Amino acid sequence: PSIVTAQAADQGQLRDSMQDSVDARMLDPDTALLVVADGMGGAPAGDLASGRALAAVIDTLGQRDWSDPDVALAEAVAAANEAVWQEALADPRKASMGTTLVIAPRQRRRGPYRERRR
């Protein structure tokens, strides 16, 4: 199984760096993962925050059992938060760094990918 994705980003005219981080991959034969992190514009190190958050999510979910997706996603968000927090603590100039985070897993269960809703 595979997924087909496309991405586009625009740094805009006000930023010195691209603050978006995006990844799409198959974690296993039945789990597709799309992640978007958008560093907070106007705050320092938004590009670094989005990159750290994305890396933490990929790392965490790549090692998880998906039997309970809610737990897996909560752990991934906690890991992303911790990664950004630790980076901000290490350098006072980055104290207000931050990012948005969207995690969109899709799991195949005997048919097409489906969204899990409560």
pLDDT by position in tens, the chain (length 118):
556 777 777 666 666 667 889 999 888 887 889 999 999 877 789 999 999 999 999 999 988 887 888 999 999 999 999 999 999 999 999 999 999 999 998 877 655 545 555 5
- pTM comes to 0.81
Contacts of range 17-24, beta carbons closer than 8 Å, 24 or more positions apart: 17/46, 17/47, 18/47, 19/46, 19/47, 19/50, 19/99, 20/50, 21/47, 21/50, 21/51, 21/53, 21/54, 21/99, 22/54, 23/54, 23/58
Say how far apart CA 13 and CA 26 lie, in whole Å. Answer: 34
- The confidence score (pLDDT) of residue 59 equals 95
- The confidence score (pLDDT) of residue 29 equals 82
69-90 vs 46-62: helix axis angle to the nearest 10?
A: 140
